[in-house]
Amino acid sequence: GACLSRYDNVYYHWEKKSGNDDYSDIQNLIAVMDTISIDNYYQMVSENFNYDNLIDFLAVNLLVRNNSTYYHNYYMFNDSYATSKWHIFPWDLDKCFLYYEVNIPYHQTSRYWTPDNPVAELAFLNDTTLQHIRNRITELHNNIINDSYITPWIDSLEVLLYNSVEEDATDNIASI
């Protein structure tokens, strides 16, 4: 439910990992995300986010089809001492590569029970950020996230992960 949405209860949906109990920074970000227009989105994220980090986050999630991230499974870091910019970091990438929610289109960012994530959705609607995402996807696909690079890497992990995957009773996958 941590969607950076006006519907987020920051005290329930967001867990602070450092600092004090002041949630005003995330509350302010949510308020901006709720009111920013599509046309003004690029300027706002350029000023308030580590922009390259944001574009990488969105591009990689699209390439690996990680739909289990925009309503949870990411960290927000506010570099309040140095740059005053937000950074977004994924975690828990176990539902990547078309397994999880294969029917959710790229521009929808949440499950039916949670609000959509405006950071991602506005990025897909703004022409400038969408073009930057497309360019980064092309670059990543040409150099790293493609069959010739990923398949041998995944295959090399099979021996290492086999027992853990076999013992995982929570993944809802019928066979190894």
Each residue's pLDDT tens digit, 30-74: 999 999 999 999 999 999 999 999 999 999 988 887 777 776 788
Angle at 65 between CA 147 and CA 63, to 5 degrees: 50
Q: Whole-angstrom Cα distance, residue 166 to residue 158?
A: 11
Tell me how far apart the alpha carbons of residues 118 and 109 are, in angstroms, rounded to a whole number: 9
Compute the distance between CA of residue 104 and CA of residue 157 in angstroms, rounded to an integer: 28
Confidence of residue 133 (pLDDT cuts 50, 70, 90): very high
Q: Does 149 have pLDDT greater than 70?
A: yes
Mean pLDDT over residues 66-91, rounded? 85
Contacts of 143 (CB under 8 A, 6+ apart): 149
Return d(Cα 155, Cα 151) in angstroms, integer: 6
Extended strands (E) in the chain: 74-78, 86-90
With beta carbons less than 8 A apart as the criterion, state whether 64 and 35 touch: no
pTM: 0.81
pLDDT digits (tens, 9 = 90+) for 162-173: 999 888 888 777
Length of the chain: 176
Q: How does residue 110 score in pLDDT terms, banded at 50, 70 and 90?
A: low
- pLDDT given at position 168: 87
